[in-house]
């Protein structure tokens, strides 16, 4: 047999051995002193009901390797870094370590795509141009898949916040008009709608925590609109900032915004209802009309064929 036959197998074995060595190097068990230092550095308790919660070796290794992996695709400018943080926040990932983990996941998916594509291409096609194209295609797919999933998560979260915002705003108006302050009203709304609308309630809780830490209310409300990425929430934050700046009634501002959102919601429903007739054309033409055509014209066609055959 030729030497080129064994090259794909050797490449596959070398890549597997390298991955195993990296995972083994990062997943070594830490001493108790190192674990305690890690707990003090992160400021989080890793105990539940008196028992220590230990992460798996792969998860712990990935978290340790994340900073090194993320440097490969780290944004160069502050604008790109801010845009990445906004995208992650829109998808619900507001942790300070979210950009590092996301970039590390992209690099890991790139490496996994290259590994799988290279293994599949070299084992089935050998050392050829087609195998290299498969390797490059799988690598590019692995690099862009995390971005696609992030976009889908952000879109789904925005839709949920948009649909749940009118109910939350109505309840917020009731709480404010009943005499509660804005902070207490948001806390009350988060408690009442926690099960039905967890996304908007999570944002309200985040705002309450920032206000309790002494942060300026205008900055908190501005970050609320940026973090959600929903235009209606941005408009609500702008109205509340304006009311707080000029000292006007917050209850009246919320009432106006609630009425505006209610009108917008009804107009959106009317728009979807008006578009229903156009959308029904395609299933009618593709699925219903052929069946009706067969039922109506079928018997006549059969009779014509019989007459032609008998002549």
Judged by average pLDDT, the poorest of 15-19, 169-173, 298-302 is 15-19
Structure tokens at 232: 């209606």
Nearest to 234 by CA among 269, 214, 262, 261: 261
Does the pLDDT at position 56 exceed 60?
no
Rounded Cα distance, 3 and 166, in Å: 69
Q: What b-and-e string marks burial along 47-71, b requiring 16 or more CB atoms within 10 Å of the CB? A: eeeeeeeeeeeeebbbeebbeebbe
Read off the pLDDT band of 29 (50, 70, 90). Answer: very low
Percent of the chain residues past pLDDT 90, beyond the cut? 2
pLDDT tens for 234-272 read 888 888 888 888 877 888 888 888 888 888 888 888 888
| Alpha carbons 37 and 147: distance in angstroms, whole number | 34
Most confident of 8-17, 112-121, 169-178: 169-178
What tens digit of pLDDT does each residue of 145-180 get?
Answer: 888 898 999 999 998 888 888 888 888 888 888 888
Q: Determine contact, residues 120/98, Cβ cutoff 8 Å.
A: no
pTM of the model: 0.68
Any bridge partners for residue 237, and if so which?
Answer: none
Domain boundaries, the chain: 160-265
Q: What is the pLDDT of residues 62-97, one digit of tens each?
A: 666 666 666 767 777 888 888 888 888 888 888 888
- Determine contact, residues 177/250, Cβ cutoff 8 Å: no
Give bridge partners of residue 48 from the DSSP assignment.
Answer: 51
Helix (H, G, I), strand (E, B) or coil at 296: helix
């Amino acid at each position: 047999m030729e030497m080129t036959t064994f090259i794909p197998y050797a490449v596959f074995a070398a890549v597997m051995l390298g991955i195993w060595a990296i995972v083994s190097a990062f997943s070594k068990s830490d001493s108790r002193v190192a674990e305690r230092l890690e707990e003090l550095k992160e400021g989080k308790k890793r105990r539940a009901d008196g028992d220590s919660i230990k992460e798996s070796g792969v998860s712990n290794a990935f978290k340790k390797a994340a900073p090194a992996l993320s440097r490969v695709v780290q944004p160069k400018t502050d604008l790109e870094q801010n845009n990445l943080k906004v995208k992650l926040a829109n998808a619900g990932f507001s942790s300070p370590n979210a950009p590092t983990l996301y970039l590390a996941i992209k690099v890991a998916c790139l490496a996994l795509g290259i590994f799988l594509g290279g293994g599949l291409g070299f084992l089935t096609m050998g050392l050829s141009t087609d195998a290299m194209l498969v390797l490059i295609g799988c690598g590019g797919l692995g690099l862009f898949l995390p971005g696609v999933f992030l976009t889908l998560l952000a879109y789904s979260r925005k839709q949920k916040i948009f649909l749940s915002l009118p109910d939350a705003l109505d309840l917020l108006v009731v709480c404010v008009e009943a005499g509660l302050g804005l902070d207490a009203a948001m806390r009350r709304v988060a408690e009442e709608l926690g099960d039905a609308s967890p996304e908007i309630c999570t944002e309200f809780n985040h705002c309450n925590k920032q206000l309790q830490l002494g942060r300026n209310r205008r900055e908190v409300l501005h970050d609320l609109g940026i973090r959600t990425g929903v235009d209606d929430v941005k408009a609500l934050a702008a109205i509340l900032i304006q009311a707080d700046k000029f000292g006007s009634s917050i209850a009246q501002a919320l009432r106006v915004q609630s009425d505006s959102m209610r009108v917008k919601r009804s107009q959106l429903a009317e728009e979807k209802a008006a578009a229903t007739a156009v959308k029904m054309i395609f299933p009618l033409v593709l699925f219903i009309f052929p069946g009706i055509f067969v039922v109506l014209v079928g018997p006549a066609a059969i009779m014509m064929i019989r007459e032609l055959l008998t002549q």
